[in-house]
Structure 1
Amino acid sequence: MFSHIMIGTDDIESSKKFYDSILAVIGINNPVRNKNETGQQRLFYAHNGSVFCITEPINGEPASFANGSTIGFVCESPQQVQEFHAVAIANGAKSIEAPPGLRDNSTGKKHLCYFLDLDGHKICGMYRCD
């Protein structure tokens, strides 16, 4: 359904270090770095036909997070959800909501973790149970 998700940052190097660490947990490595036509630095992490992008804001204003938004990354096991969360926290993320673990509600059973990245974006790791 989605081709890409792009978020803003005011510190591309800190974001790269953070996302290199957490995305490696789920098998995403080696982002492509470039500058757009107006000079902003960008990172592109491609995996299974989708792209997660980080950019310095084009309008020159400070980056901000979208209140009410969540960016979810697929994990391959409950253990990977736990590791995804642990690596994020170890690299400066802030844990939010309930601790990582099993949730069982109207959308089914799944293991989830939630945290805020270095710029305040809400990130989720999810493993859906069969």
Structure 2
Amino acid sequence: MFDHVKFGVSDYAASKAFFLKALAPLGVAVASEGPPAYGVELSGKGKASLCLFQTDEKPAHLHLAFVAETRQQVDAFHRAALAAGATDNGAPGLRPHYHANYYAAFVIGPDGHNIEAVCHAPGA
């Protein structure tokens, strides 16, 4: 859970396109945007947001986990992220070593960040 996460990316246009496409199944869209040095704020139904900005700095890799309301959203996120150019880092499925209903998928985004969608609800 977070209010916002902001991090620098090496290719603003590519990262913005990637996150918009990969997170569309989770209801994420542009909330506001300024010039690339300021960046873009992406948000879903809640108040939390993800902010990206152009930088030449090399940030450490992050692990970002996004809430999915259903397991179908996790599946759709994984498909959309791969179609947007991500590398698979864990197909959709249960991760019972976290807890019995931890259903998640993982991809590596354009800057090497580990991006996850997770649903904590029991299956249908």
TM-score by length of 1: 0.82
Q: CA deviation at 1:8?
A: 1.6
Matched residue, 1:82: 75
Structure 2: runs of 5 or more not aligned: none
The one of 37, 47, 65 aligned to 1:72: 65
Q: What is the rounded CA distance, in whole Å, between the counterparts of 2:72 and 2:42 in structure 1?
A: 23
- Taking a change above 3 Å as real, the CA distance of residues 19 and 31 of structure 1, as seen in their structure-2 partners, is farther
Moved over 2 A (4+): 61-66, 105-108
Q: What is the rounded CA distance, in whole Å, between the counterparts of 2:98 and 2:76 in structure 1?
A: 26
Q: Does 1:113 align with 2:108?
A: no
In the TM superposition, what whole-angstrom CA distance separates every residue of 1:26-48 from its partner, at most 9, and x where no partner exists?
1111342113xxx7140101231
Q: What is the rounded CA distance, in whole Å, between the counterparts of 1:65 and 1:33 in structure 2?
A: 24
Q: How does 1:96-111 map to 2 (within 5 A)?
A: 96=89, 98-111=90-103
Matched residue, 2:12: 12
Structure 1: runs of 5 or more not aligned: none
In the TM superposition, what whole-angstrom CA distance separates every residue of 1:66-115 from its partner, at most 9, and x where no partner exists?
2xx4100111211111110111011110111x421112125342111011
TM-score by length of 2: 0.86
Conservation of the 8 A alpha-carbon contact between 2:23 and 2:81: no
Matched residue, 2:51: 53
The one of 41, 44, 49 aligned to 2:41: 44
SS at match of 2:21: helix
Q: CA deviation at 1:21?
A: 0.7
Matched residue, 1:126: 118
Q: What is the rounded CA distance, in whole Å, between the counterparts of 1:53 and 1:111 in structure 2?
A: 25
Identity %: 26
